């Protein structure tokens, strides 16, 4: 039986609920979950059933607009009070991906312009849908710029999953591979498995296979050897938060790849929408790094793989210094060093 390549997506709005692809069950089970109340949305984000910076932002926007649509008051002040309570609750779900707060703030601005509760309810939902649909075009543009930047390079390494299922469609770091496949440009993608929760093995390998892209899975510790032995020509990764000087937080292990690129003299690219920039963080030192529970490291598939009570350190992200980044690929174009200036000029203009 032949498999028709399809770019998988993870989020579908259905009038009174959000349908999400349960990313915790991939690749063995393709299961969809229905989110109907604000606790569902919060738990889905915390438990990584939905993950990836843009997808987290889109989900939170739907969660807040959806919750607000059920507030039983005609009083705009009381409505705003309930809205702020729920906004703070969702904003607390994951600390590093700034797209979460970016999306919630965008909704708050919409509420600020509403003249009545009914108008607020309609416009908030409309805004969440807009955040979702805009993201697809943003990712497609990132893919177009990334194809230009990668030029004739075909052997590319990535980490984590900055793909279609981490966004509305196409992804950021994986967008050039999806677009390339549609245009007959064949990339050979090396996906780092991405310990501890294996977004590379479970998600990127699955997503690229579904989409018909040539993908080779390696463990994170094989990155240096693979770059050297397989002639990897560039590394491209996503981002969770980019500070004003270009320092970039992304999945743990990313900065290690940037250091390897420097050693092997190959370019290291970050691909991210402008909603991932946080100009209030001056440098990477201002970026909050999420620490997750020890079970992600001490167990695998429910089985203990470390002695009980061992001390565990589990930061989910690391910060890559701007000095190691060759270019930041956004929907507005490609930013090059000096990032302080190129970010000010391009991102600040929004």
Q: Which of residues 239-298 bind ligand MRU (CB under 6 A)?
A: 239-240, 250-251
Which listed residue (8, 10, 21, 51) binds ligand MRU by CB under 6 A? 51
Instruction: State yes or no: residue 316 binds ligand MRU (CB under 6 A).
Output: yes
Which listed residue (54, 180, 246, 327) binds ligand MRU by CB under 6 A? 54
Determine the residue with CB nearest ligand MRU: 238
Instruction: State yes or no: residue 172 binds ligand MRU (CB under 6 A).
Output: yes
- How far is Cα 135 from Cα 287, in angstroms, rounded to an integer? 23
Instruction: State yes or no: residue 171 binds ligand MRU (CB under 6 A).
Output: yes
Q: Which residues touch 277 (CB under 8 Å, ≥6 apart)?
A: 98, 241, 242, 244, 343, 347
Instruction: State yes or no: residue 169 binds ligand MRU (CB under 6 A).
Output: no
Q: Closest separation between CB of residue 83 and ligand MRU, Å? A: 25
* Identity of the residue, 52 or 246, whose beta carbon is nearer to ligand MRU in the bound complex: 52
Longest dimension (CA), the chain: 66
Query: Cis peptide before 338, with omega less than 30 degrees from 0?
Result: yes
* 240 has catalytic annotation: yes
* Identity of the residue, 180 or 273, whose beta carbon is nearer to ligand MRU in the bound complex: 273
Q: Closest separation between CB of residue 204 and ligand MRU, Å? A: 10
**What backbone phi and psi angles, to 5 degrees, belong to 18?**
-105, 130
Which listed residue (120, 124, 166, 260) binds ligand MRU by CB under 6 A? 166
* DSSP code string of 70-139: T---S-HHHHHHHHHHHHHHHHTS-SS-THHHHHHHHHHHHHHT-SSHHHHHHHHHHHHHHHHHHHHHHH
Instruction: State yes or no: residue 60 binds ligand MRU (CB under 6 A).
Output: no
Instruction: State yes or no: residue 235 binds ligand MRU (CB under 6 A).
Output: no
* DSSP code string of 271-319: E--GGGEETT--SGGGS---B--THHHHEETTEE-S-TT-----BSEEE
Q: Closest separation between CB of residue 203 and ligand MRU, Å? A: 8
Which listed residue (53, 147, 213, 287) binds ligand MRU by CB under 6 A? 53
Query: Cis peptide before 27, with omega less than 30 degrees from 0?
Result: yes
Residues annotated as catalytic (active site), given as ranges: 240
Tell me which residues touch ligand MRU (CB under 6 A): 51-54, 97, 160, 162, 166-167, 171-172, 199, 238-240, 250-251, 316
């Amino acid at each position: 039986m032949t498999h028709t390549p399809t770019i998988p997506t993870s989020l579908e709005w259905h009038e009174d609920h959000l349908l999400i692809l349960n990313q915790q069950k991939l690749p063995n089970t393709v299961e969809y979950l229905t989110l109907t109340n604000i606790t569902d949305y919060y738990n889905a984000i915390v438990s990584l059933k939905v993950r990836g910076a843009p997808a987290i932002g889109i989900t939170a926007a739907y969660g807040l607009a959806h919750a607000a649509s059920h507030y039983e008051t005609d009083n705009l002040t009381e409505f705003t009070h309930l809205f702020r309570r729920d906004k703070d609750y969702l904003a607390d779900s994951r600390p590093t991906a700034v797209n979460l707060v970016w999306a919630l703030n965008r909704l708050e601005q919409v509420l600020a312009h509403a003249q009545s509760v009914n108008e607020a309810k309609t416009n908030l939902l409309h805004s969440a849908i807009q955040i979702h649909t805009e993201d697809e075009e943003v990712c497609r543009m990132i893919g177009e710029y990334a194809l230009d930047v990668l030029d004739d390079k075909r052997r590319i390494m990535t980490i984590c999953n900055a793909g279609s299922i981490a966004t509305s469609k196409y992804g950021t770091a994986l967008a050039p591979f999806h677009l390339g496949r549609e245009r007959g440009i064949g990339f050979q993608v090396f996906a780092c498995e991405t310990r501890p929760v294996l977004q590379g093995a479970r998600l990127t390998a699955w997503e690229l296979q579904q989409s018909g892209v040539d993908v080779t899975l390696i463990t994170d510790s094989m990155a240096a050897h693979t770059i050297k032995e397989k002639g990897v020509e560039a590394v491209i990764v996503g981002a969770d938060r980019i500070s004003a000087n270009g320092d970039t937080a992304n999945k743990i292990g990313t900065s290690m790849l940037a250091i390897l690129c420097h050693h092997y003299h190959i370019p290291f690219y970050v691909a991210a929408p402008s909603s991932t920039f946080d100009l209030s963080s001056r440098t990477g030192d201002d970026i909050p790094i999420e620490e997750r529970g020890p079970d992600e490291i001490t167990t695998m598939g429910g089985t203990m793989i470390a002695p009980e009570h061992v001390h565990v350190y589990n930061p989910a992200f690391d910060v890559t210094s701007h000095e190691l980044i060759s270019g930041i690929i956004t929907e507005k174009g490609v930013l090059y060093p000096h990032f302080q200036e190129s970010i000010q000029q391009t991102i600040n203009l929004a």
